Structure 1
């Protein structure tokens, strides 16, 4: 093959690759596709991934109240609406690592704290006896901000371990990047209604 033919083949291949939809170029061996290239469900995927699904607050609540949050454990995304619906935001999250740790339903934010400390629950200690109380700081699993739900021991909080976002990695809580939980913390007053789906 001549240099001219090699260059032409390279340019044709590069142009075709750039024209391929981004979704298809992003597929990996871990994400099977059907005969038309649509992604199919895959079990055992451990990398950060989101199966984002758009949410409407009207599908979950009768009114917006003081503010509204829908935490979607399938999409690994948290949806926020302010009291009049003019501010809608979506945040990537970590979600519980197992189904038995996942609590779904209606709750609300009852307390907020900057620089939270952390005490492991009895079930966490049963799984890992080395766990112990942690004061606020870089090693604390609750990150920089925490919003406590009316369900005991369930929170929406930050994390210093950014690898957890987009994964099934928590012991029941919904986790956000520290930068994003700081934003959400300011947006959500105590009394914000929450639904975990």
Structure 2
């Protein structure tokens, strides 16, 4: 795990602690363990400054059921909401596309899950950034971080990032980015077929 977190955290302790780390009352609603862990103050301040309007949401206005769980990405508030099949709720700060032109909204689903994804920029990314490499393998230089959820839309992913400055900002080329620690947790809770809605 990253230098910001202890290695021995369970999923429940990590998610319960996230609210205290980021400074919001309900980053994760699994609060059976109220222990907290330390995060570097600079990171905490960046998230507070960059996250525009964190708010909790109910799943019913957006999904007819929670079969296989549900992910709702709120582009405006730069947050990813997840409900598992039992209705347990988790809220993560995210990066979102840097412009409306790169933003896609609507319904999709998780079609593939990859630990240690590789990355190839899209043709339009290479057109805008001709000096970018055509391929980056898994590792610390990979823009997709440690885990990726591939969506049914071509080129769109929910993935981690090694560049934590991007979280809470309009900073992506179309994908939704999470802290590596958060995407690893979401990765474990989702499955192929998990429904996704971007609004």
Normalised TM-score (structure 2): 0.74
Q: Which position in structure 1 is the counterpart of 2:15? A: none
Aligned match of 2:122: 121
User: What residue in structure 1 maps to residue 168 of structure 2?
Assistant: 166
Could you say what secondary structure the match of 2:197 adopts? strand
- Distance in 1, Cα, partners of 2:52 & 2:93: 8
**Shift in Å at residue 53 of structure 1?**
2.8
- Offset of residue 55 of structure 1: 1.5
Query: Structure 1 regions of 5+ residues with no counterpart?
Result: 1-21, 23-46
Name the counterpart of 1:96.
97
Count matched residues. 151
CA RMSD of aligned residues (A): 1.2
Q: Contact 2:51 / 2:93 at 8 angstroms: preserved in 1?
A: no
SS in 2 for 1:103: coil
- The equivalences for 1:26-105 within 5 A come to 48-85=50-87, 87-105=88-106
Is 1:149 the counterpart of 2:151? The answer is: yes
Which whole-Å CA distance do the structure 2 matches of 1:74 and 1:53 have between them? Answer: 11
Q: CA deviation at 1:126?
A: 0.5
User: Greater CA radius of gyration, 1 or 2?
Assistant: 1
For residues 45-74 of structure 1, give each alpha carbon's deviation from its aligned partner in whole angstroms, at most 9, with x where no partner exists: xx5232123221111111111110001111
C-alpha displacement of 1:155: 0.2
Q: Deviations over 1:105-140 (max 9, x none)?
A: 000000000000000000000000011210000010
2:50 partner SS: coil
Partner of 2:179: 177
For the residues of structure 2 that align with 1:151 and 1:171, how far apart are their CA atoms? 14
Q: For residue 107 of structure 1, what is the aligned residue in structure 2? A: 108
Structure 2 unaligned regions, length at least 5: 1-22, 24-48
**What SS does the corresponding residue of 1:107 show, helix, strand or coil?**
strand
Q: Secondary structure at the match of 1:151?
A: coil
Q: Distance in 1 between matches of 2:150 and 2:186?
A: 13
Please give the alpha-carbon distance, in whole angstroms, between the structure 2 residues aligned to 1:109 and 1:166.
Answer: 22
* Equivalent position of 1:18 in the other structure: none
